[in-house]
Amino acid sequence: MADFGGADLDAFRTEAREWLEANFPPSLKGRGGMMFLEGRGETGGDVGLWKKRIGEKGWGVPTWPKAYGGGGLEPAQARVLQQEMNRVGAWNPIGGMGVMMFGPTLLEYGNEAQKKAHIPPIVHGEINWCQGFSEPGAGSDLASLQTRCEDKGDHWLVNGSKIWTSGAQWADMCFCLVRTDTSKKHEGISFLLIDMKTPGVEVRPIKLIAGASPFCETFFTDVKVPKENLVGPLNGGWTIAKRLLQHERSGLSGGGGGGGGGGMFGVGGSVPDLAKTYVGVDDNGRIADSDLRTRISAHDMERRAFQLTAIRMMTEARSNQGPSTATSIMKNAGTKVGQDQAELTLEIMGAKGLGWEGEGFTSDELAAVRGWLGGKATTIFGGSYEIQNNIISKRILGLPDPINSTSN
């Protein structure tokens, strides 16, 4: 892709290169960061040091405004920074829901005091946020949520329960959708920030099919929340939630996205190479199993198509053609590529791709199994595959609401 800005950008490249040389601990080279860390993540040692340095520089969130501690970079500069980081094997230790979803949303909808209070700790990687959206009775039909929030004059009082709160057991704060008006559906929802250490907040991890517990049930019993923690207008939370979900979905398109790595679930590396190793090749160097080869090729092409679409979207967004209609398809297309990759990887590994733990399997083989299982969540959370298709049908294609169904 073309560079923009010419000489200025070259100067920035030099600046970024020098800063990385001086500040990125070489011991961390290529270790990468995982999106869904189990636990709070490392805080000591070189990781802690790197986090502190990049946090102070604001380059963990390079395009966020300087006023709140962000990097204040232009998108073109941020791309250069990413290129330079890739070049030296550096990775961004500042991540999580605060960066991916909550921060951008608060920057758009929060008041000055809220931005001053909550954005800098995200920039520095000091605070973990979790998302209190889904409830046992409100999954795809999110707007039917029941967690009650009452105005008690000098505070809000919250009662109810949330489910699938990712990382709630390690979270400091929760951005939450609560019901402030029971007489309306979408227009009775507000967006509230809750400190997880408040008395009455209880978290129970849920064990999933992949064996880990990345999600929790979170219970709120007479939880007192300061009045200033309401974001946006009372009963105006649905609009903010929809915006936040857009950020979530663009971050979750997963599998084939961005640099074309292994995605957030499953092992990295090239599926064809894996097949050559596990299945073998014929005299012409082709993957020996011709049926498998065809399906690998089809998958490989679909992944490339997804990557090309991601590039096209960015290019169109940079030009003045307005928002790209391709955006709406990214979550379903990306998660499909990721799940297909996981399924193919398992199939390619054969019996070696059936291990759960212990000896007899490499760590990649075990990771493939866990990644395959964990990845099934990608077409369920953040708006299921079916909900995404509803959104495309209604908002892009202009088809009417199905009978007996509510809007998304």
Partner 1 sequence: MAVLTEEQSMLRDSARTWTQEKSPVSAFRKMRDAGLPLGYDPAAFAEMAEMGWTGVIIPEQYGGSDFGYLSLGLILEETGRTLTASPLLSSALAAASAIILGGTDAQKSAYLPKIASGELVATLAIDEGAHHAPEKVALAAKKSGAGYTLSGAKTFVLEGMAAGLYVVSARTSGKPGDKEGITLFLVPTDAKGLTRKALKLADSRGAANASFENVEVGADAVLGEANKGWDLLEKVLDRARAGLAAEMLGAAAQAFDVTLDYLKTRVQFGQVIGAFQALQHRAAKMFTDLELARSCVEAALTAIDNNAPDTPELVSLAKAKMGDTLHLVSNEMVQMHGGIGMTDAHDAGLYLKRARAAEASYGGQSYHRDRYARLNGY
Angstrom CA distances, 288 to 6, 300, 347, 349, stand at 48, 17, 14, 14
Residue 384: CB minimum distance to partner 1, A = 12
Told to check if 301 binds partner 1 by CB under 8 A, we report yes
Among 122, 244, 275, 349, contact with partner 1 (rule: CB under 8 A): 275
Residue 389 is a binding residue for partner 1 (CB under 8 A): yes
Per rule CB under 8 A, is residue 286 in the interface with partner 1? yes
In whole angstroms, what is the distance from residue 336 CA to residue 154 CA?
48
Q: Determine the 3-state secondary structure of 155 from DSSP.
A: strand
CB of 287 to partner 1, least distance (A): 5
**Residue number, 134 or 327, with CB nearest to partner 1:** 327
Those residues with Cβ within 8 angstroms of residue 203's Cβ, 6 or more apart along the chain or in another chain: 165, 168, 169, 196, 216, 217, 218, 219
Stretch touching partner 1 by CB under 8 A, among 55-63, 267-275, 362-370, 374-382: 267-275
Interface residue with partner 1 among 45, 137, 233, 402 (CB under 8 A) is 402
Q: How far apart are CA 143 and CA 161, in angstroms?
A: 14
Q: How far is the CB of 315 from partner 1 (least distance, A)?
A: 6
For the chain, give percent helix, strand, coil, nearest 5: 50, 15, 40
For residue 379, give every residue at least 6 positions away whose Cβ sits within 8 Å of its Cβ, in sequence order, or none. Answer: 332, 335, 336, 339, 385
Q: Count residues contacting partner 1 (CB under 8 A)?
A: 47
Q: Does 140 bind partner 1 (CB under 8 A)?
A: no
Which listed residue (216, 267, 329, 349) binds partner 1 by CB under 8 A?
329
CA 110 to chain centre: 21
Question: Residue 122 and residue 217: Cα distance in Å, rounded?
Answer: 24
Tell me the DSSP string of 183-194: T-SGGGEEEEEE
Nearer to partner 1, 247 or 336 (CB): 336
**Cβ–Cβ under 8 Å, residues 334 and 255:** yes
Q: Does 296 bind partner 1 (CB under 8 A)?
A: yes
* Nearest distance in Å: CB 311, partner 1: 8
Stretch that binds partner 1, among 142-150, 190-198, 328-336, 366-374 (CB under 8 A): 328-336
293: contact with partner 1 by CB under 8 A: yes
Whole-angstrom distance, CA of residue 47 vs CA of residue 69: 20
Site for partner 1 contains 116 (CB under 8 A): no
Place of tokens 């294609």: 397
Span near partner 1 by CB under 8 A; candidates 8-16, 31-39, 134-142, 319-327: 319-327
Q: How far is CA 396 from the centre of its chain?
A: 23
Residue 297 as a binder of partner 1 (CB under 8 A): the answer is yes
According to DSSP, the residues that pair with 174 across neighbouring strands are 130, 194
Q: Which is nearer to partner 1, 157 or 279 (CB)?
A: 279
* Contact flag: residue 395 with partner 1 (CB under 8 A): no
Residue 249 in contact with partner 1, rule: CB under 8 A = no
Nearer to partner 1 (CB atom), residue 27 or residue 294: 294
Nearer to partner 1, 209 or 305 (CB): 305
Task: Name the one range near partner 1 by CB under 8 A: 101-109, 155-163, 327-335, 342-350.
Answer: 327-335
If one asks whether residue 252 binds partner 1 (CB under 8 A), the answer comes out as no
CB 175 within 8 Å of CB 206? no
| Max CA separation in the chain (angstroms) | 79
Among 304, 323, 350, 362, binds partner 1 (CB under 8 A): 304
Our CB check for partner 1 shows the closer of 72 and 272 to be 272
Q: With beta carbons less than 8 A apart as the criterion, state whether 275 and 352 touch.
A: no
Q: Residues 18, 11, 85, CA angle at the centre, nearest 5°?
A: 45
Tokens of 135: 């409830």
Q: Which residue of 105, 253, 309, 378 would you call a contact of partner 1, by CB under 8 A?
A: 309
- The verdict on 400 binding partner 1 (CB under 8 A) reads yes
Structure tokens at 241: 């939630």
Sites of contact with partner 1 (CB under 8 A): 272-273, 275-276, 281, 285-287, 293-294, 296-298, 300-302, 304-306, 308-309, 311-312, 315-316, 319, 321, 325-326, 329, 332-333, 386, 388-390, 392-393, 396-403, 405
